[in-house]
Amino acid sequence: MELVKLLTGAGALLSATGGVLRNRTLITISAAVVMGILVWRSFTFGYPPIFDGFDTLLLFAAVFGITAVFSKADPRLSGVLSGVFIGGALLLPTEVKSIPPIIRTPLFFIHVGSAIVSYALFLSCSLLALFSREAEVIKPFKWGFFLFTVSLLFGALWAFLAWGEIFMLDPKSIFSVGFWLFSAFVFHTLYDEKLKNHTRLMVVFNGLLVIFLFLGVNFLFGGTHEF
């Protein structure tokens, strides 16, 4: 068996054990192991492998584990779920698709990398808001918003340098700005006497929008973000 799969399996077991024993330290160690695998693979391939299912799922699992620990979510739920996500990656191929040299610029990796981590944060918040009532989800949600803002900034900068545009009227760009506005609206609801009671529900809905933005937009509409 490949070393990467052995380490991934170990990470899944650690997380699940942490869940069963209600031990947050084990869940944190599991997330650190998974992050270690991603860093190691980044050095092996020469760029962060964030464009295939295996690494994307591992990244999401690690972000979910860390978010669950910091938001003081139920450790049983977070450990077991994180273990399932890491274990799910074992079913996916570990090969990394080569990306065209023209998009191998630091701007691209910051643009896509920060977007994927922010998606993982938003989805984690969504799951925790749905299943763990005690979890404080707004704090990680705001950091998700910040990382998504970083992604938009570097996307605009790269588009300006590469194509002489700061914004394309393509589905992904339009929905990204719409999603960014909606995320801002979600944490602003805390300042409204009536809406503040529905904030967690909106965090859950925000997670659904992430799935649409990540998987649905390019599939349904196409556009310049298809690569």
Partner 1 sequence: MSFKSVKLFGVFTALFLIVGFSVSLYERSISGLTELWRNSETFGQVLKISTLFLGGALLLVSTQTLYCRGRGRLDAAIHITAGLSLLLLFLTPFYWHTRTLYLYPYSYVKLNGTTVGLKELTFRNSTITGDFFIEEKKGGKAEGNVSFNRPLISREGFIWIRGISEFNGAPAVEVKFSSFSPVPLLFITLFGVFTILLGVRFLKTGGRDVHSYRGKGAPEADR
Residue closest to 117 by CA, chosen among 127, 125, 105: 125
Please, are residues 164 and 173 in contact by the beta-carbon 8 Å criterion? no
**Which residues from 86-125 bind partner 1, rule CB under 8 A?**
101-102, 105, 107
State how far the Cα of 18 lies from the Cα of 161, in Å rounded to an integer: 47
User: Residue 192 interacts with partner 1 (CB under 8 A)?
Assistant: yes
Amino acid at 167: F
CB of 19 to partner 1, least distance (A): 24
Residue of the chain from 36, 44, 146, 201 that contacts partner 1 (CB under 8 A):
146
Q: Cβ of residue 210: shortest distance to partner 1, in angstroms?
A: 14
Q: Is 201 in the site for partner 1 (CB under 8 A)?
A: no
**Position 143 contacts partner 1 (CB under 8 A):** yes
- Dihedral-angle region of residue 51 (phi above 0 means left; psi in -120 to 50 means alpha; beta otherwise): alpha
Q: Using the minimum distance from each CB to partner 1, give the nearer residue, 40 or 146.
A: 146
> Would you say 46 or 101 has its CB closer to partner 1?
101
Tokens of 104: 């191998």
Q: Which residue has the tokens 């994180």?
A: 82
CA distance 49 to 29: 22
| Residue 82 CB-half CA count within 13 A | 41
Q: CB-wise, 88 or 223, nearer to partner 1? A: 223
Task: Give yes or no for residue 130 binding partner 1 (CB under 8 A).
Answer: no
Q: Does 214 bind partner 1 (CB under 8 A)?
A: no
Which DSSP symbol is given to 103?
Answer: G
Minimum distance from CB of 177 to partner 1 (Å)?
7
Cα separation, 225 vs 227, in Å, equals 6
Measured from the CB atom, the residue of 37 and 186 that comes closer to partner 1 is 186
3-20 and 53-70 helices cross at what angle (nearest 10)?
A: 30
- Give residues in contact with partner 1 (CB under 8 A): 101-102, 105, 107, 136-140, 142-143, 145-146, 149-150, 152-153, 156-158, 160-171, 174-175, 177-178, 181-182, 184-185, 188-192, 194-196, 199, 217, 221, 223-224
